[in-house]
Structure 1
Amino acid sequence: MTDTVSTARSEDLFAEAQGLMPGGVSSPVRAFKSVSGVPRFIERGEGPYLVDVDGNRYIDYVLSFGPLLLGHAPDAVTQAITEQAAKGTSYGAPSPLEVRLAHQIQDRYPSMERLRFVNSGTEGAMSAVRAARAFTGRNKVVKFDGHYHGHADLLLAKAGSGVATLGLPDSPGVPAAVTADTLVIPFNDEAAVREVFEREGSEIAALLVEPIAGNMGLVRPRDGYLQMLREVTETHGALLVFDEVMVGFRVHPGGAQALYDVTPDLTVLGKVIGGGLPVGAYGGRADVMKLVAPDGPVYQAGTLSGNPLAMAAGLALLGEVDATGAWEAAAEAARTTAEAVQSAADAAGVPVVTDAVGTMFGFFFNDRSLFSFEDVQTSDKAAFSRLHGLLLERRVYLPPSPFEACFTSSAHTPDVVETAAEAFQSAFAAL
């Protein structure tokens, strides 16, 4: 469909919101600063679709940036939330749901011998680094340029995703002293890893990595790269921390660590394990996690950690995935959608490189494979902005940034993907 899309109500709400919230949004990328037009204010989600306040219905490839592996408002999850809400929304005390979900996670991530539920990926990454520093008695942390681990001060150094979208390599308000022990190196550069560890290995507590980058677009590790990280960190007595908040359960039912057969010391999760409700978790080796209070002196707490609504939603989602083959269906949708994007671009003579891993896909306006944040930045951002607007006119909703991966769900059935493919064909032709 290419008929005129009305955005009058979204425009009014955005104008009102800008007088109430910074940029009119609760998270920066939603403000559409990297694309054209006005942010769509969403009234509801239905399976693979978003419906905005003006009544426009879009095929959704954002899916709340990852959690919605079954699509919007799946019956199993909404029923679990409704039933749990009737029993109470928060206890400030343990519940059996935490134990059950912890088992479900550990079954899929055996490297997480002990884990702790938190409320966000940011909180999980921050807490994992604290535990790693306590365990090693060291202060320095290595991260990769373009990898985003939340907005904790020490990790907000040359991050990707929303920060890269705004062109802010660091953030004002973060003291230089806080990031002085954060060492930032290029992704997929083995020489840089070995050099930083040879120079400062005795002071490095942890290396934190998105095993497959998702916050600078979808970028895989080079062959053998994660295995090299495992070897180097072990050699120097540092902990390897996999941030699988985005890719966990998405690139493989057991995460990137199962896909690549690399066992990290600590793992950070989020998104999928909450079924669309706010959640995070971190965990790993028992000897590291036993330092976390109350077993040990490393303090971390949260009023809503292990919230029964999030636990119930996560259990329902994972149960439904196991019972229905939803992961395989979503992975097929990602593969075929990526193929449709590439086909449409090729037919239009537009240089584009695409990729799909599990239930995620991505593409860049480029004519070569990309391996680092520096590579990613050579892509044509203006072309992405134009395409984003053309696809909105054709009722396809992509992340409003060239620095984000796309997601599929089991609700993205072949007929939905076929409709999207027609929209991609038309939009690329219009470029």
Structure 2
Amino acid sequence: MANTTPDNPHASERSATLFDEAQQFIPGGVNSPVRAFRGVGGTPLFFNHGEGAWLIDEDNNRYVDYVGAWGPLILGHCHPAVIGALQEQLSRGLGYGASTAAEVDIARTICKLVPSIERVRLVTSGTEATMSAIRLARGYTRRDKVVKFEGCYHGHVDGLLVKAGSGALTLGEPDSLGVPKAYTDLTYVLPYNDIEAMKALFKEHGDEIACIIVEPIAGNMNMVPPVPGFLETMRELCTEHGSVLIFDEVMTGFRVALGGAQSVYGIKPDLTALGKVIGGGLPVGAFGGRKDIMDCIAPQGGVYQAGTLSGSPLAVAAGQAMLREIQKPGFYEELGATTEAMLAGLKEQARAAGIPFTTNQVGGMFGCFFSGEDSITRFDQVMACNVEQFRKYFHVMLNNNVYLAPSAFEAGFVSAAHGQAELDTTMAAAKKAFASL
């Protein structure tokens, strides 16, 4: 039986069998590492389908879903508008390898909703979006050095799979086998939310730096928002030194607000990487920004980027349906209120059980930390959290019908489909989970 703990009411034999079979054909039994449950232990679940705010596994167990395919399912699973748009497009074909009117429509919508984006190029993944944005920034500035921040993830691009060096101003070291050190020798790694380290780096190397790439709200070290002045200083330094500011909003774009994190904090990046929501749950990505920079992309300019399936009619149809829904009045206010109520309930359950626990939230995106800190704003604080408590908490929640990200270092997401019934299930599970700690 998979995921067994003393109070596990669920049988997950089918998931366990499938995982055994998967390991015979797929490295580690999964097609993306976090699915393997290595961060929490136990056997990963295999899901059969989704309904609104719920996931149903291969053994027909139901779970309130706070992963939402890692963010894009902001309307929940199988929303009628998205499914209807997909069915309509399916009747016309899967794809053409050529341009469509729908690509123009979604590009127009993106440029309208995100004021910093004057031109946009569709791609097929978030990794492709960030990789292309960095290549474009280098081509535009004719510089090579890139700045990223510890704890931020921008896809599995060779030059960005880096860990911090021995000091704030040192270049990064490869964080994965197969990444030549020569690639990461062009990447500086700074602590997230450290304004002084950023100023010091630009004072010494500013004229060599092609771009900064940052998650404006970090979502890959759990969920950590920027401190006041962090993004503002970044914008000022890039403007002063002629560097390109890239916001990686693959996770936050159209998720935390209609205009993304940049609209929440009032910062205008030069380029933005998008994904997740703009495909309605299908594989998609995009990068866009200032016209003068985007005009450097082929066929108009000398920076090469291409993709056979870019602008997939299916992804565009689903994305357009999603974007129409989230533009309805009050959508984000209601989503944020639901998320706030859920987190307030979790904190109350933790307080009653005497467990140190704190949360972060922006809109429908949240982070939970087993920590006595009043606020979590730095990577080192995240790494100091009680991971063992999270592992126990995760499994008790799972065994009581709540599915969280299987890692202490991933953000969570609430959808518009989450309502009082889902919150009640979550609080009942949380009461047992915190009591067990």
TM-based fold match above 0.5: yes
The aligned residue for residue 374 of structure 1 is 380
**Equivalent residue, structure 1, for 2:223:** 218
Residues 279-358 of structure 1: pairs in structure 2 closer than 5 A = 279-323=284-328, 325-358=330-363
3-state SS in 1 of match to 2:424 = helix
Name the counterpart of 1:264: 269
Measured against aligned partners, the alpha-carbon deviations of 1:333-371 in whole angstroms (never above 9, x if no partner) come to 211111111111111100011121101111111111222
Q: For residue 208 of structure 1, what is the amino acid of its counterpart?
A: I
1:324 CA displacement: 6.5
Residue 386 (structure 2) pairs with residue 387 (structure 1) = no
Question: Which residue matches 1:68?
Answer: 73
- Secondary structure of the structure 1 residue equivalent to 2:138: helix
Deviations 1:201-230 (A, max 9, x none): 111000000001011011011112111110
2: CA distance between counterparts of 1:267 and 1:3?
A: 44
Counterpart Cα distance in 1 of 2:229 and 2:366:
21
Equivalent residue, structure 2, for 1:28: 33
1:26, 1:331 → 2: CA distance? 32
Paired residue type of 2:270? D
Query: Does 1:414 pair with 2:415?
Result: no
Q: C-alpha distance in 1, partners of 2:416/2:319?
A: 16
AA aligned to 1:378 is A
Name whichever of 137-146 and 410-419 sits farther off.
410-419
- For residues 188 and 3 of structure 1, what CA distance do their matches in structure 2 show? 40
Per-residue deviation, residues 385-429 of structure 1 (Å, max 9, x unmatched):
110000011100000001100001110012211221221122111
Q: Which residue of 1 aligns with 2:247?
A: 242
Q: Structure 2 CA distance, aligned partners of 1:411 and 1:391? A: 19
User: What is the CA–CA distance in structure 1 between the aligned matches of 2:31 and 2:335, rounded to whole Å?
Assistant: 28
For residue 269 of structure 1, give the secondary structure of its aligned residue in structure 2: strand
Conserved in 2, the CA contact under 8 Å of 1:122 and 1:152? yes
Aligned with 1:171: secondary structure?
coil
Q: How far apart, CA to CA, are the structure 1 residues paired with 2:281 and 2:356?
A: 35
* Preserved contact between residue 291 and residue 297 of structure 1 (Cα < 8 Å): yes
Question: Is residue 2:13 matched to residue 1:5?
Answer: no
Runs of 4+ deviating beyond 6 Å: none
How many aligned residue pairs are there? Answer: 422
Deviation for aligned residue 1:158: 2.6
Tell me the distance in 2 between the aligned counterparts of 1:325 and 1:41.
35
From 173, 184, 195, give the equivalent of 1:179: 184
**Cα–Cα, structure 1 residues 25 and 324, in superposed 2: closer, same or farther, change >3 Å?**
farther
Paired position in structure 1 for 2:235? 230
Letter of the 1:284 partner, please give it: G
Please state whether the residue corresponding to 1:362 is helix, strand or coil.
Answer: strand
Matched, 1:125 2:127: no
How far does residue 169 in structure 1 lie from its aligned partner after superposition? 7.0
Amino acid at match of 1:299: Y
Give the structure 1 partner of residue 157 of structure 2. Answer: 152
- Aligned AA (2:148): K
Alignment of 1:73-112 (within 5 A): 73-112=78-117
Displacement of 1:106: 1.1
SS at match of 2:213: strand
Aligned partners of 2:123 and 2:300: how far apart in 1?
17
Give the counterpart letter for 1:194 in structure 2.
K
Letter in 2 for 1:428: F
* Superposed displacement of residue 81, structure 1: 0.5
Name the aligned partner's letter for residue 151 of structure 2. Answer: G
Q: Is 2:284–2:315's contact at 8 Å kept on the other side of the alignment?
A: yes
SS at match of 1:257: helix
1:246 alignment partner AA: M
- Partner amino acid, structure 2, of 1:375: Q
Q: Tell whether the 8 Å contact from 2:193 to 2:377 is kept in structure 1 after alignment.
A: yes
1:402 aligns to 2:408 (yes or no): yes
Deviations 1:253-293 (A, max 9, x none): 11111000000000000000000000000010000000000
Partner of 1:162: none
SS in 1 for 2:162: coil
CA RMSD of aligned residues (A): 1.3
Contact 1:242 1:267 in 2 (8 A): yes
Q: Distance in 2 between matches of 1:323 and 1:253?
A: 10
Alignment partner for residue 42 of structure 1, among 47, 52, 56? 47
Confirm or deny: 8 A CA contact 2:402 2:425 kept in the other structure.
no
Q: Deviations over 1:134-161 (max 9, x none)?
A: 11110000000110000010111139xx
- Alignment check: 8 A CA contact 2:55 2:62 kept: yes
Tell me the residue number matched to 1:165: none
The residue that corresponds to 1:17 in the other structure is 22
> Is 1:70–1:326's contact at 8 Å kept on the other side of the alignment?
no
Q: Summarize the Cα distance change of 1:3–1:38 in structure 2 as closer, same or farther, 3 Å threshold.
A: closer
Q: In 2 relative to 1, CA 169–379 (structure 1 residues): closer, same or farther, beyond 3 Å? A: farther
Structure 2 unpaired stretches of 5+: 1-6, 165-172
Contact 1:329 1:409 (C-alpha < 8 Å) held by counterparts: no
Q: Separation in 2 of the partners of 1:316 and 1:112?
A: 20
In 2, Cα distance between equivalents of 1:58 and 1:415: 12
Equivalent of 2:143 in 138, 142, 145:
138
In 2, the alpha carbon distance for the partners of 1:24 and 1:419 equals 30
Give the conservation status (yes or no) of the 8 Å contact 2:249–2:260. Answer: yes
User: Please, what TM-score do these two structures have when normalized by structure 2?
Assistant: 0.95
Residue 48 of structure 1: CA displacement? 0.2
**Residues in 1 aligned to 2:400 and 2:41: alpha-carbon distance in whole angstroms:** 15
